Amino acid sequence: MTRLRRIKAAVALASASAALVVLPGHASAASPQVQQPSAAQTAAAAAACATGYVCFWTGTNYTGSKCTWLNGDPDWYSGDIKCTWAANGSLARSVYNAGTSSSKTGVAYYSGANYANRVGCTPQGRGGNFTQARALRSHQWISTACG
């Protein structure tokens, strides 16, 4: 899909979606919510996060340093793909899930290595800003609902 078509699709999706990202099925009530950026910002994230990947940024509205993965990662600090900003103590402030698998529904993320302490989940084709910056260390694609 061309970049322009991806942007148009993301704008249409963002416009059609009134709410965003449910958090999390297994976390405490104190877990942060994810807030919807503007349609233009979401379109930019869709263009910046390759199809099939999940992307996390250090800044709100999909800005700052970015780490991306095609697959799950049990340890962002020492896995196949190292997220240096997370390992250096920077927090995640936004996420976009560009996943397209028909067998997966979302990506769950955790504050601990090896999928310990689930703190959130983002369905495919969605993203947003964390209302509270998150120290994340692992994530995995899931086939159950995020909610």
3-state DSSP call for residue 48?
Answer: helix
- Which residues in 110-121 are b (16+ Cβ under 10 Å) and which e? beebebeebbbb
Average of per-residue pLDDT values in the chain: 78
Q: How far apart are CA 84 and CA 133, in angstroms?
A: 17
Distance of CA 114 to the CA centre of its chain: 17
Based on C-alpha coordinates, what's the Rg of the chain? 14
Better-predicted residue by pLDDT, 113 or 15 = 113
Quick one: which of 109, 115, 114, 120 has its CA closest to 24?
120
What ranges do the domains of the chain cover? 3-142
pTM: 0.74
pLDDT for the residue numbered 147: 76
Place domain 3-142 in its CATH homologous superfamily: Crystallins (2.60.20.10)
